[in-house]
Amino acid sequence: MASRPTPPHSPASSSVEETLVQSGAEEWDGDDEGAAGQVEAPPEWASKESLVATADRGHRLDAWLAVLAPEYSRSHLKTLIESGCVTVDGSLVSTASRKVVPGQRIAVLLRPTAQSQAFVAEKMDLPIVYEDDALIVINKPPGMVVHPAAGNWSGTLMNGLLAHHAGASALPRAGIVHRLDKDTSGLMVVGKTIEAVTALSRAIADRAVRRQYVALVHGLAPDAMEVDAPIGRDPVSRVRMAVQGAGKPARTDVRCLMRTRARLDDGWGQYSAVECTLHTGRTHQIRVHLSSKGLPLVADVLYGGKPALGMGRQALHAFRLGFIHPSTGEACQFESPLPSDMASAWRILQEAAEKAATGA
């Protein structure tokens, strides 16, 4: 190992190189105390209103609305009530469990569900490293979600891509062919045409896209190791993945870049910086493989890591990406420097390693 390691560096760039592998309720008839302010509806929002029939006496408001607007789920209608989209006789209400009274006029603004807005274009400053007619290379910052999902129905990379170029709406997942976890930073390639999406997807499946990461981990890593262990859903915790005999094949090559003992505010600790090369792309693969070897990522609480070195998110960055260009056939390679949080953590480890080497 080098006595003075350096972090992945240089502005993101491209080059042509060799082929790369790789719910009680009470009756009511007035305002709800504490009701939310009334929502102003954009012109595209629909609305419905109706009088409560005698036969509907005693029904919950959300259940009554579910009959008025059966195209929406009861849970979504409850959200509309709580967020100021429902009035009774012109007064805002906010309690879904209250009972309706015959003769009341109830109106609802039918705000679309979050899910229905998931594939809507949103203008944003995309961190583009490279772009041509066939593809885009993105340097994803930590905190950006790639695909819309529960809790993140907007503001995702996909939403940004739909606004970035017209062709994205005709492509599967707006051209996204692989992903990074929300708190992982680094390089991703996105196709702009169906031909590019198909070629890149096949290349990933054939392990002909080179994806390399830098990770900061707890513990002292060996000089090099290959982790060839299948990964599947953790049977105890469904939010985690785990090494499972019945899982899908997964392989990660690991090379140690630096290891040291460092004295921090909470005392002494052992840390390593490692380079990881993916040969497969399973969910949480690097995090699971390293944790299985007693080397959890710094700040990766889900897999046994702890916040340290100033890191508030898992210390993982996709620093190098290589693939054959789907249109030109050229071999392309892109690199991304460590983001500021990981660069700072790297310097802390490097200084500790230098002190250890000199006996200081």
Distance CA 14, CA 339 (A): 19
Query: Active site includes 181?
Result: yes
**32, 62, 132, 181: which is the annotated catalytic residue?**
181
Place of tokens 């891509």: 161
- Determine whether 250 is exposed, middle or buried from the number of CB atoms within 10 Å of its CB (0-12, 13-18, 19+): buried
CB-CB contact of 208 with 323 (8 Å): yes
Residues 6+ apart with CB under 8 A from 104: 29, 51, 52, 88, 89
Place of tokens 């708190």: 183
Smallest CA-to-CA distance from 12 within 147, 153, 185 is with 185
Outline where 73-210 has alpha helix (H): 74-82, 157-164, 194-205
Please count the CA atoms within 13 angstroms of the CA of 226 that sit on its side-chain side: 5
Residues 6+ apart with CB under 8 A from 299: 305, 306, 307, 308, 311, 312, 313, 314, 315
Residues belonging to the active site: 181
